[in-house]
Amino acid sequence: MKNVIAFFDFDGTITSKDTLFEIIRFQKGAAALYAGMALLSPLLVMFKLKLISNHRMKEIVLKFFFRNTPLDVFQQQCDDFCRLRLPALLRPKALNAIAWHQAEGHKVYIVTASAENWVAPWSQTLGIPCLGSHLEVNDGRITGMLTGPNCNGNEKVCRIREAVHLTTFETVYAYGDSSGDREMLALAQHKGFRAFE
């Protein structure tokens, strides 16, 4: 049956780790990552206590590590990350599920809170569109802010509805691993919560 669509979360579902921290480690080095996390630890505690939103915390981290980075330099390093580091983070069971959907002729999308910059270069090699967060760029440099909402929670559903007409699909699959995937999972008849761990 080809009138089927499947949505996959990325971090924690397809990958074994949060790729925001892995992209920082890859581009800046482990020492810079740990030093930055130590400096940001009071804010991270506030985030855990839900005193700072997911959107705001992401911008704080991105601004700390990447503000004023030229986009072309950042993107080249994201491309290198997808080629050199990301394969070791991918869950084999998730890759098998993606391959199965594609073999069955199903439409597949990656829907992620991560920036498209370090997910799309990988997903495009599989012919899969990526719906992710967008980084703000000013004068060719990353500001550390997001353009539009963080692609998490209900925003995942908004982005899906912008990209596809769900009513044209008879069957919907969705895979996720966290509370930020709850709304996306609710769209599907076939829900895979932490299915690949």
Rounded to an integer, what is the distance from CA 116 to the centroid of its chain? Answer: 7
Across 170-187, average pLDDT? 97
Mean pLDDT along residues 126-134: 98
CA distances from 107 to 49, 127, 152, 162, 173 (A): 38, 10, 21, 15, 10
Contact 43, 52 (CB under 8 A): yes
**Cβ neighbours of residue 172 closer than 8 Å, sequence gap 6 or more:** 4, 5, 6, 7, 166, 187, 188, 189, 190
Rounded to two decimals, what is the model's pTM?
0.94
Partners of residue 5 on adjacent β-strands: 107, 172
- pLDDT, tens only, 44-89: 999 999 899 999 999 999 999 999 999 999 999 999 999 999 999 9
CA dihedral sign, ordered 10, 16, 20, 26: negative
Would you say domain 4-193 falls under CATH 3.40.50.1000? yes
Assigned token pair, 4: 């089927």
How confident is the model over 17-50, as pLDDT tens digits?
Answer: 999 999 999 999 999 999 999 999 999 999 999 8
Q: What pLDDT, in 10s, does the model give residues 78-102?
A: 999 999 999 999 999 999 999 999 9
Residue 1 has pLDDT above 90, yes or no: no
In angstroms, rounded to a whole number, what is the distance separating the alpha carbons of residues 111 and 9?
A: 5
Q: What is the b/e burial string over 173-189, where b = at least 16 CB atoms within 10 angstroms of the residue's CB?
A: bbbbbeebbebbbebbe
Contact call for residues 72 and 139 (beta carbons, < 8 A) = no
pLDDT of residue 154: 97
